[in-house]
């Protein structure tokens, strides 16, 4: 390879920097027509678009009930509130902060458990081994869109007398090994529709459940706890989805499966092209259908000759944006420092995980460019490592 890496003074591979992600939202005359109808009706919230979106998502997921909310964060907060959870909640530390925040907002204690080293999802054995006799809920996460082992987690939760719920922020459209959609397991699964997710309504969330009692509580809770007579029955929130957000969802939901198909083909292209480089891919359990909310690899010094951060810097110089989710993990964030959890797998993954660019309408040749930038860094790894010195 005669080309010089940009980090060593060569020209960058990409003149226009490639973002890590960007939303794919169809906004056409059909959608704008719906917006017009909503404005004409004067009903910007609590209207028919949200109800129809909930009905369509429930049919897509094949679950009894879907409750649309303002975000995944508020959805998780309300699920924990409506379960009347007490004591502590077992959850992974390798997740987005909102998973933990929902626990703390309910004055519950987070107990962080380790994740599996290859799928990055909550390890059922770690749930069994986690200390604490006051655990009322286990909160799993479908990390980067890889379905958790929900059946094993259900057994681990049941053995402790705890309910199982999921932060399914990354999971809309994925399928478990038995073919059912993410959304159908545990007592409730909560999706996010924020802009980095595969289906976005700007901001928004969806709670899926087959428990009619919980569904009724959640509908009350997202509306201040007010059933309509202004005599609140609980300390709820305003966590409603707007009619405009629901209209975006209604227009884009029918396109989701094709979108996810494309994401899987982009991920397949990455896997194929990266096969010649010593990086490890997140494992997708056999028979499951992942979402590829993100395409994430593990980079180790010993194998790649560069640390994760050195590779990220080399890629940034080439115009390739990456992210280092979820570093620092929750138990080491300043808002959580009271926890002294021992989480060796989480510590390893957070230091070595690198998320590469992937968005639904990303051209395939840009996947090739990213891989080329990685191969270039690998070919010059000794020189790059020497230049960067101890920056790891």
Residues of this chain that interact with ligand PLP (CB under 6 A) are: 71-73, 95-96, 98-99, 141, 167, 169-170, 192, 194, 205
Q: Which is nearer to ligand PLP, 13 or 91 (CB)?
A: 91
Give the tokens for residue 336: 């959580």
Q: Report d(CA 257, CA 291) in Å as an integer.
A: 10
Q: Report d(CA 342, CA 10) in Å as an integer.
A: 43
Q: How far is the CB of 355 from ligand PLP (least distance, A)?
A: 11
Q: Which is nearer to ligand PLP, 95 or 242 (CB)?
A: 95
Q: How far is the CB of 294 from ligand PLP (least distance, A)?
A: 9
Q: Report d(CA 293, CA 143) in Å as an integer.
A: 9
- Closest CA relative to residue 74, chosen from 101, 112, 111: 101
Q: Report d(CA 176, CA 287) in Å as an integer.
A: 8
Q: How far is the CB of 169 from ligand PLP (least distance, A)?
A: 3
Taking the CA atoms of the chain, what radius of gyration do you get in angstroms? 22
Q: Which is nearer to ligand PLP, 169 or 291 (CB)?
A: 169
Instruction: Give 44-72 as a DSSP string.
Output: -BSSHHHHHHHHHHHHHHT-SEEEEES-H
Q: How far is the CB of 295 from ligand PLP (least distance, A)?
A: 15
Residue 167 φ then ψ, to 5°:
-80, 100
Q: Please list the alpha-helical segments (H only) found in 318-379.
A: 344-352, 364-379
Give the tokens for residue 121: 């999802």
3-state DSSP call for residue 66?
Answer: strand
Q: How far is the CB of 119 from ligand PLP (least distance, A)?
A: 15
Q: Which is nearer to ligand PLP, 170 or 351 (CB)?
A: 170
Q: Report d(CA 263, CA 145) in Å as an integer.
A: 11
Q: How far is the CB of 69 from ligand PLP (least distance, A)?
A: 9
Q: Which is nearer to ligand PLP, 5 or 147 (CB)?
A: 147
Per-residue burial over 158-190, b = 16 or more CB atoms within 10 Å of its CB, e = otherwise: eebebbbbbbbbbbbbbbbeeeebbbbbbbbbb
Q: Which is nearer to ligand PLP, 86 or 194 (CB)?
A: 194
Residue with structure tokens 């429930």? 58
For the chain, counts of helices (H) and of strands (E): 14, 10
Q: How far is the CB of 139 from ligand PLP (least distance, A)?
A: 10
Q: Which is nearer to ligand PLP, 192 or 346 (CB)?
A: 192
Angle CA 82–199–213, to nearest 5:
20
Q: How far is the CB of 237 from ligand PLP (least distance, A)?
A: 13
Q: Which is nearer to ligand PLP, 20 or 388 (CB)?
A: 20
């Amino acid at each position: 390879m005669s080309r010089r890496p940009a980090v060593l003074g060569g020209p960058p591979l990409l003149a226009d920097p490639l973002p890590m992600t960007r939303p794919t939202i169809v906004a056409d005359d059909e959608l704008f027509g719906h917006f017009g109808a909503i404005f004409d009706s004067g009903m910007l919230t609590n209207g028919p678009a949200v109800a129809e979106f909930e009905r369509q998502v429930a049919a897509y997921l094949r679950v009894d009930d879907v409750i649309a909310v303002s975000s995944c964060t508020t959805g998780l907060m309300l699920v924990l509130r409506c379960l009347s959870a007490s004591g502590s909640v077992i959850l992974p530390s390798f997740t987005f902060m909102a998973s933990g925040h929902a626990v703390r907002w309910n004055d519950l204690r987070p107990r962080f458990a380790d994740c599996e080293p290859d799928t990055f999802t909550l390890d059922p054995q770690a749930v069994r081994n986690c200390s604490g006799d006051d655990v009322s809920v286990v909160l799993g996460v479908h990390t980067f869109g890889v379905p958790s082992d929900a059946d094993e987690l259900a057994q681990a939760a049941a053995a402790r007398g705890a309910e199982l719920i999921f932060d399914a922020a990354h999971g809309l459209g994925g399928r478990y090994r038995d073919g059912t959609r993410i959304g159908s397991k545990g007592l409730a699964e909560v999706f996010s529709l924020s802009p980095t997710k595969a289906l976005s309504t700007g901001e928004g969330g969806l709670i899926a459940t087959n428990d009619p009692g919980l569904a009724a509580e959640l509908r009350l809770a997202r509306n201040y706890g007010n059933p309509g007579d202004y005599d609140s029955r609980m300390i709820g929130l305003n966590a409603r989805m707007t009619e405009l957000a629901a209209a975006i969802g209604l227009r884009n939901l029918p396109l989701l499966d094709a979108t996810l198909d494309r994401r899987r083909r982009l991920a397949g292209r990455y896997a194929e092209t990266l096969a010649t480089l010593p990086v490890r891919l997140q494992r997708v359990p056999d028979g499951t259908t992942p979402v590829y909310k993100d395409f994430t690899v593990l980079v180790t010094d010993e194998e790649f000759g560069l640390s994760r951060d050195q590779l990220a810097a080399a890629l940034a110089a080439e115009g390739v944006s990456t992210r280092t989710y979820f570093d620092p993990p929750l138990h080491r964030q300043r808002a959580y420092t009271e926890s002294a959890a021992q989480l060796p797998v989480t510590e390893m993954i957070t230091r070595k995980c690198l998320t590469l660019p992937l968005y639904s309408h990303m051209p395939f040749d840009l996947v090739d460019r990213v891989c080329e930038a990685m191969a270039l860094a690998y070919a010059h790894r000794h020189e790059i490592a020497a230049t960067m010195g101890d920056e790891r």
